């Protein structure tokens, strides 16, 4: 039986985010990819979640950083756990948690968001990340 990823995304967003967070759903870029853009109540922090059947991504638009997790099996509970973990990281950012550090590169530095979540530190970067599977 196929899992309804759109319904899963809507359920997780409804469970994780407070009612004062602005939520905008979209599927205009690709029909197999479900997106939600989230904005904090003050309108200053913007992030999002993207979901397909096999991968899930958290994006912080303000910093242009992201992280992705993959789940190739057909168990809805596993997919929900992965999506919920990413949603909690996004919620932490929208709530003002985490810290932004600069990662030094050869020619310039780039921002990295570090968030402590569920006893582990997540790092979201531009070209790399350090996620944790639930």
32/10 Cα distance (integer angstroms) = 15
pLDDT at 1: 62
Q: Residue 27 sits in which domain range? A: 5-97
In this structure, is residue 124 part of a structural domain? no
In this structure, is residue 16 part of a structural domain? yes
Query: pLDDT tens-digit profile of 94-119?
Result: 999 999 998 887 788 889 999 998 78
In this structure, is residue 69 part of a structural domain? yes
pTM over 0.85: yes
In this structure, is residue 121 part of a structural domain? no
In this structure, is residue 92 part of a structural domain? yes
Residue 58 CB-density burial (10 A; 0-12 exposed, 13-18 middle, 19+ buried): buried
pLDDT at 38: 98
In this structure, is residue 24 part of a structural domain? yes
pLDDT at 27: 67
Structure tokens at 38: 């989230």
In this structure, is residue 106 part of a structural domain? no
Q: Which residues of the chain are under the pLDDT cut of 50?
A: none
In this structure, is residue 72 part of a structural domain? yes
Structure tokens at 97: 């948690």
Assign 3-state DSSP to the chain and report helix, strand, coil percentages, each to 5.
Answer: 25, 40, 40
**How many domains does the chain contain in total?**
1
């Amino acid at each position: 039986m196929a899992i309804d990823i759109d319904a899963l995304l809507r359920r997780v967003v409804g469970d994780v985010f407070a009612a004062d967070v602005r939520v905008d759903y979209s599927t205009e870029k690709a029909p197999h990819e479900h997106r939600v853009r989230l904005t904090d109540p003050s309108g200053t922090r913007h992030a999002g979640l993207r979901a397909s059947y096999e991968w899930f991504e958290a994006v912080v638009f303000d910093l242009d950083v992201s992280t992705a997790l993959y789940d190739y099996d057909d168990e809805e509970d596993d997919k929900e756990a992965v999506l919920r973990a990413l949603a909690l990281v996004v919620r932490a950012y929208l709530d003002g948690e985490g810290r932004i550090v600069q990662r030094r590169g050869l020619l310039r530095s780039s921002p990295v968001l570090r968030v402590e979540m569920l006893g582990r530190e997540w790092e979201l970067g531009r070209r790399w990340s350090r996620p944790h599977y639930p």
